[in-house]
Structure 1
Amino acid sequence: MSEASTQVGRRRTRRTVVAIVAAVVIVAGLAVIAWTLWGGRGGGGPLAQRALYVDPDSLAARAALDGETAAERDAATVLAARATAIWLTPERDPAGRAGETVAAVVAAATTRNALPVFAVYGITDRDCGNHSAGGLPPREYLAWVDEIAAALGQRAAVVVLEPDALALAPECPDPDGRVALVADALARFDGTGAILYLDGGHSAWLPADRMATLLADAGVAGARGFATNVSNTQTTEAERTYAAAVATALRDAHGIDGAHAVVDVSRNGNGPPGDGAWCNVPGRAIGEDPHAIEGDDVLDGVLWVKPPGESDGECNGGPPAGEWWPRQAVELVRNAG
């Protein structure tokens, strides 16, 4: 639940943002590579082979230069230095531009021998009318995904496909059609370099066996695996246990062996609130830096999928979904110590 129509046209040119990322690193006094190299943390799998790509055009990178106060700029600088998923939505990157965005990001990442991370978020009736409502009609949606897949081609990238779409399906109209549409979208990436993870909810949402059924029906056998905790704040250990349970259910109940997982840890530094709230929850903190996981049969690594500092929606005083919210960015960094 990250990007929304409010961000249409807000991307700057890639020339402009080269200067931005240089400034961010200088201000931070940090080497970006220290936060993005996975190989040094061990582990096998496709995520341990190269650095993760840091997007120089992120809202955090802009805020690091343009924030109104020193506290806002400092917090944004910390966030901009971490590799975070680039969210593709039809509102921000409509048909005709989505492919250009992907091609530009992948080309920039290739020159740095880095691995970009995308979250594809444009399914029909997205978020089932909640804070991140939107998306495209089915035929237009699949054509948009085709454009993204074609732009990626054989070049490697992590793709987290449709956050919340499967776990939310039982609460939406036509859940079977929703699952089938996710499966159709996944199939568009066949033959590309995508390292695909279907979204798999989180440990405090659906039971592992129910989530496994949804994933199986959506074609997870054709993906690397699934992602958990996207835009949520469950603890890493809870998600690790949950991911193992989902993988076991996939194997035992559906004959799908070897499914892997990644966990979004971007805002789970303080864990979840006691009341189970998720939308712009106060008192949270950024989580550990992205890294590969060593010696785990299921978990490939932990990622920053939800960009910290971007609102979940108009709740708890936040702006519309996907907009930069300086107050939250400062709190997330401060609470992490």
Structure 2
Amino acid sequence: MKTSTASLLALATAVSALPAPSQKRACDAPVTLSGTENPFTKYTLHPNSFYRAEVEAAVEAITDASLKETAAKVADVGSFLWLDTIANIEKLKTELATEIPCENILGLVVYDLPGRDCAAKASNGELAVGEIDRYKTEYIDVIAGILKENPNQAFALIIEPDSLPNLVTNIDEQACQASATGYREGVAYALTELNLDNVIMYMDAGHGGWLGWDANIKPGAEELAAVYKDAGSPSQLRGISTNIAGWNSFDLSPGEFSDATDAPYNKAQNEKQYTTLFGAALQTAGMPNHAIVDTGRNGVTGLREEWGHWCNVNGAGFGARPTAETGSDLVDAFVWGKPGGESDGTSDESATRYDSFCGLSDAYKPSPEAGQWNQAYFEMLLKNAKPAF
């Protein structure tokens, strides 16, 4: 997975650019959300101050007047805030000290499982396999406490991108075998402890080019549903998140890889088809099946050589802005999950966290470490945005 952890310098810069803390609460009364209703028909995804600070710094670095004016508009787009380390929980506290309009819902990515991203290198986490107690007490419990302290704020949570999908397709890898118990226990714990009235949760389900294969849909749905049931079937779990930090089109037809020799084995050629097919399997398995889909960087298709190429895809562009108008009863909203401009991983082959996917011919180079800002890549996303800003 493509972590959004910024460097310490970038974090310090972002924090220094934040508005002064305010005592104003999001709403005058406690927020009550329902797992049976789409929250995005009532709430707008909040443009968090950390991404805004990154974008505003990027705007200052642009010399072309026209592009500068266009780039400034990106700061107003709602996006999810990644809590991808224990230390980054401070971002949540800082964000809640700013003025968040009552009609906005704050999106958070819960992403710090022990042995995180067992099948990748670029976004390995801080917690080692077996450190499930630290995950519970130092991470989930702290987040839950903050959410409880802010009952007047609405929250939308993406729970642990890539974790359970890895147990479906990469379980042959030793690292994923070692992480499996912690993944299941950790996600179930997160679902249980974060099951609060002012919270709606979406458990991550990869994307159509991952669990969308005919052979993966049923076991994938059963894997997620089993964890959901282990968590006590939490009422605030609305369904799944898909294409987080991904590149798949929502409704391109025929699909991007429909001409591939193995296309007959994957009917989920776009995310709309995937949410329909996987959603049906989830319903059969006994789990809520609504979805949110990341459209933050999927404005341009036909760039990847294979489905699984995930790192800094060259030629990409910003996609549809967050909205509840998706044209699908199963899809609650298009969202911006990955902060466009933050790197997926370094292209430096000598780096400790270098992942070979970041060195492929369809990956943008040069690229810095995962989570660090890439100005040239941001400008490329902006120029290639569909729809244009």
Question: Alignment identity in percent?
Answer: 29
* Correspondent of 1:262 among 282, 289, 292: 292
Larger displacement relative to structure 2 (287-296 or 321-330): 287-296
**Number of residue equivalences:** 306
| TM superposition shift of 1:283 | 1.0
1:290 corresponds to 2:322: yes
Q: Following superposition of structure 1 onto structure 2, how do residues 67-78 of structure 1 map, counting pairs within 5 Å?
A: 67=61, 69-70=63-64, 73=68, 76-78=71-73
Q: Following superposition of structure 1 onto structure 2, how do residues 152-167 of structure 1 map, counting pairs within 5 Å?
A: 152-153=147-148, 154=151, 155-167=153-165
Letter of the 1:133 counterpart: N
Partner SS state of residue 275, structure 1: coil
Letter of the 2:321 counterpart: D
CA distance in 2, matches of 1:187, 1:322: 29
| TM superposition shift of 1:228 | 0.2
Query: Residues 310 and 295 of structure 1: is their aligned pair in 2 closer, same or farther, counting only changes over 3 Å?
Result: closer
8 Å contact from structure 2 (residues 238, 289) kept in 1: yes
8 Å contact from structure 1 (residues 83, 304) kept in 2: yes
| TM superposition shift of 1:233 | 0.3
Partner SS state of residue 147, structure 1: helix
1:230 corresponds to 2:221: no
1:327 corresponds to 2:370: no
| TM superposition shift of 1:282 | 0.1
In the other structure, the counterpart of 1:61 is 55
CA distance in 2, matches of 1:109, 1:46: 20
1:114 corresponds to 2:114: no
| TM superposition shift of 1:5 | 6.6
Bigger helix fraction: 1
Q: Following superposition of structure 1 onto structure 2, how do residues 11-160 of structure 1 map, counting pairs within 5 Å?
A: 11=12, 16-18=17-19, 45-58=38-51, 59-67=53-61, 69-70=63-64, 73=68, 76-90=71-85, 92-93=87-88, 98=89, 100-106=90-96, 108=98, 110-128=100-118, 129-136=120-127, 137-143=131-137, 144-153=139-148, 154=151, 155-160=153-158
* Correspondent of 2:225 among 216, 223, 229: 216
Query: Residues 324 and 5 of structure 1: is their aligned pair in 2 closer, same or farther, counting only changes over 3 Å?
Result: closer
| TM superposition shift of 1:80 | 1.8
CA distance in 1, matches of 2:16, 2:382: 28
Partner SS state of residue 263, structure 1: strand
8 Å contact from structure 2 (residues 275, 330) kept in 1: yes
Q: What does the per-residue CA deviation read over 1:274-296, in whole Å, with 9 as the maximum and x for residues that have no partner?
A: 32311001011110111003663
Query: Residues 48 and 198 of structure 1: is their aligned pair in 2 closer, same or farther, counting only changes over 3 Å?
Result: same
Higher radius of gyration, 1 or 2: 2
Partner SS state of residue 18, structure 1: coil
Letter of the 1:139 counterpart: D
- Over aligned residues, Cα RMSD in angstroms? 2.5
TM-score by length of 1: 0.82
* Correspondent of 1:181 among 170, 177, 186: 186
CA distance in 2, matches of 1:70, 1:17: 25
Gaps of 5+ in 2: 21-36, 171-175, 252-269, 347-357, 359-364
